[in-house]
Structure 1
Amino acid sequence: MAPMGIRLSPLGVAVFCLLGLGVLYHLYSGLLAGRLAGRLALFVLGAGAGHDVPPDTLPEGPVDLRELLAVSVLAAVRGGEEVKRVRESNVLNEKAKGKTREGAEEKMTSGDVLSNRKMFYLLKNSFPSVQINTEEHVDAPDKERIFWDRSIPEDIKEKIQSKEVPAESVTVWIDPLDATHEYTEDLRQYVTTMVCVAVNGEPVIGVIHKPFSAYTAWAMVDGGSNVKARSSYSERTPRIIVSRSHAGKVEQVARQTFGNKTVIIPAGGAGYKVLALLDVPDKKQEKADVYIHVTYIKKWDICAGNAVLKALGGHMTTLTGKEISYTGSDGNEGGLLASINVDHQALVNKLPDLEKASHKQT
């Protein structure tokens, strides 16, 4: 006698399929409720294998600052590769893009343009909902198809915890080539690429990359850093680093304020000047105790350095001690005073003449 089998009617099969689909729907809905769904989707699409993922597949919602730090480091390095490549080719395609408030000619090169394109689109494709402010204009036809593979360097994993913030609270500031004037003169030690992340106008992530020495400093406020502060401030003979183009204007007042033994160090690039206050393993990096700037300066020049100093317990303020907000206009009107491991307010109190100088220059 043949064994009896279970036979389902067409109606039974339909009911069974509907039940199965219902279970799958609830499971899928549960996954989509959190960031796990976004990460799972990325893995299925290839991100888990290290492949590039188009921006329209990235999870929406809050921004993880640890992830934003990781891609900021990558962006600074990728931009630096373009800066280095163009400089070594010796085909800069240098041209003027206008004049500063002091009447100096502002220059732009292929290094600026190509670095900007790499950095902007890497960040924009990775975090499409985040506002990005950059020094150079980005043309739509030049859109770069460059994506982040979602990997986070081990040193960032070890030192930084995940922290989510609303995307609308985030502003990213990019400087694709700091010290362009020195770049055209082949003074490579001054050149940096920088990324800064501000949350509600406060700098919280800073990345400063030196393309020609392959050194990158990064820090996150209330998180961690891969760089340390110097602790060699000399009150009797302070070393003050200033802009090469304004060294003479600062020197007289600085000596009157800090004494005749004050050492003035003219240098190019805001990123370089901030690194001078830190313990940087680069023989070409000069060391300083205080960084002073007495004229108008763009926020993409200083935001990354501000974040790094703040993360390490240092300060960057206007000459009157006012905190700098990284929202609104792209320029800082009040001059600049940066220090670490010293009484910053005491320095501010010594600078009334520099405050006046700043207003005169702007």
Structure 2
Amino acid sequence: MNFSGTVKLNPVGVFVLLGLTFIFFVYSFAGKKTNEREVNLKNVLIAAVNAAIKGGDEIKVFNTVDINKRSKGKTKEGANDFITDADVRSHCVMYYGLRYMFPFIKAGSALNLIISHFAITFVISEETPQSDVCEKYYQKLSLNADDANINALNDVYVPIDDITIWIDPLDATQEFTEQLREYVTTMVCVAVKGKPLIGVIHQPFSKQSITSWSWLGNGISNNLQQKNKVKVDTTNPKIIVSRSHSGEVKKIIKHAIPTAEVVTAGGAGYKILQLINGNVSAYIHMTAIKKWDICSGNAILNSVGGHLSTFSGKDINYADGNDSVIKNGILAALLNHEWFYQKLKSYVPT
């Protein structure tokens, strides 16, 4: 019998075996259960702001490039649900940037790529391109903040299992395809146990490329300061609604609040900012709307004293990524939410 033969090892198999061995070691000796692993919300906020800005930068590339508009299907109301290459590129940098910045098991940079395959996917995006599509666009996010207000915040740790992150890589795609780019935003929302705590709305086509952010009970961006001081007119209120998915909302408002002025705009993020800036008294949407459209605005509105609810009068829970649709619309107001709710609730099926 010949024992002198050479044994050839598959390098890929060895690499995988070493990775699995490392993971077993971490689970066996780290001294923490899975659901006790924590993440620093301050770091999540910094990454969320940077992700929204990077996503906006990808969108701005398409000022001079064909956007490749196509339909993902039809909405319940029969309108096309468009996607463009700008949506995809923004998704790639935002989704994978956040996902790989906060893997379930933290490790050295050489092992992050392996370990991230075992991550809990707690980032939910409107778009769904896979990693092979996004590979050439992926960018590592920074945990350095340029905003002094963020740098002054304290570290707050929460269990990673409690976190759900919602992103909208390009809000107002319909308007983007029509060159109405003032309505376009990129958004990131961080919910803890279903409650929207951190909201980021970035306006890539605004003159100063404005980024609005808030962290409930901790801080807000400079441009949101004093927004809770805005007065709201309930005698002749101005109500903002969707220009492309309005349904019966204009007719209902006319019956419920005859003195109201109705204005239309694109993008849920844009409409929430108009509300917070005091340019309108309420934001009403009465057809189906997705949680990634409103989570960021909900978080910011909460931070400045406003309120967003369904027409059942209930706050929205953002914990479950499998339940992403609000079927009967939403009501948002900076002040006097209850007044608008009482006026409108009998007109809206719940």
TM-score normalised according to structure 1 size: 0.76
Answering whether residue 304 of structure 2 is matched by residue 312 of structure 1, we say: yes
Answering whether residue 207 of structure 2 is matched by residue 210 of structure 1, we say: no
Asked whether the 8 Å contact 2:46–2:150 carries over to 1, the reply is no
Distance 1:84 1:297 in 2: 25
Asked whether the 8 Å contact 1:292–1:337 carries over to 2, the reply is yes
Distance 1:267 1:159 in 2: 35
Q: Displacement, 1:188?
A: 0.5
TM-score normalised according to structure 2 size: 0.79
Equivalent residue letter for 1:121: Y
Asked whether the 8 Å contact 1:294–1:354 carries over to 2, the reply is no
In structure 2, the partner of 1:273 is 271
Q: Displacement, 1:311?
A: 1.0
- Deviation digits for residues 124-165 of structure 1 (CA, Å, limit 9, x no counterpart): 121123501001113121335422332133423355321110
Distance verdict in 2 for CA 1:61–1:327, change over 3 Å: closer
Of 80, 86, 110 in structure 1, the residue corresponding to residue 56 of structure 2 is 80
Answering whether residue 57 of structure 2 is matched by residue 65 of structure 1, we say: no
- Deviation digits for residues 274-331 of structure 1 (CA, Å, limit 9, x no counterpart): 0001239xxxxxx211000001101000000000001111111001210001122111
Structure 2: runs of 5 or more not aligned? 1-28, 105-119
Aligned residue pair count: 292
Distance verdict in 2 for CA 1:62–1:140, change over 3 Å: same
Equivalent residue letter for 2:303: A
Distance 2:142 2:234 in 1: 48
Q: 3-state DSSP class of the match of 1:245?
A: coil
- Which structure 2 residues correspond to residues 12-161 of structure 1 after superposition, within 5 A? 61-86=37-62, 88-129=63-104, 131-141=122-132, 142-143=134-135, 144-161=137-154
In structure 2, the partner of 1:334 is 328
Asked whether the 8 Å contact 1:319–1:354 carries over to 2, the reply is no
Distance 2:58 2:244 in 1: 26
In structure 2, the partner of 1:219 is 214
Structure 1: runs of 5 or more not aligned? 1-31, 35-59, 281-286
Asked whether the 8 Å contact 2:145–2:151 carries over to 1, the reply is no
- Which structure 2 residues correspond to residues 128-277 of structure 1 after superposition, within 5 A? 128-129=103-104, 131-141=122-132, 142-143=134-135, 144-213=137-206, 214-226=209-221, 227-228=224-225, 229=227, 231-247=230-246, 249-259=248-258, 261-277=259-275
Equivalent residue letter for 2:306: G
Asked whether the 8 Å contact 1:70–1:153 carries over to 2, the reply is no
Q: 3-state DSSP class of the match of 2:244?
A: helix
Identity of aligned residues (%): 41
Report which of the two structures shows the higher radius of gyration computed on alpha carbons. Answer: 1
Q: Displacement, 1:258?
A: 1.9
Q: Displacement, 1:253?
A: 1.6
Larger mean Cα displacement after TM superposition, 311-320 or 151-160: 151-160
Equivalent residue letter for 1:327: A
Distance 1:74 1:302 in 2: 19
Asked whether the 8 Å contact 1:122–1:148 carries over to 2, the reply is yes
Q: Displacement, 1:33?
A: 8.7
Distance 2:189 2:313 in 1: 21
Structure 1 ranges of 4+ moved more than 6 A = none
Q: Displacement, 1:355?
A: 1.8
Distance 1:352 1:154 in 2: 41
Distance 2:147 2:242 in 1: 36
Distance 2:312 2:153 in 1: 33
Asked whether the 8 Å contact 2:306–2:333 carries over to 1, the reply is yes
- Deviation digits for residues 47-97 of structure 1 (CA, Å, limit 9, x no counterpart): xxxxxxxxxxxxx931111110111000000000111111x1240011111
Q: 3-state DSSP class of the match of 1:160?
A: coil
Answering whether residue 294 of structure 2 is matched by residue 302 of structure 1, we say: yes
Distance 1:77 1:294 in 2: 30
Equivalent residue letter for 1:225: I
Q: Displacement, 1:232?
A: 2.9
Distance 2:328 2:247 in 1: 19
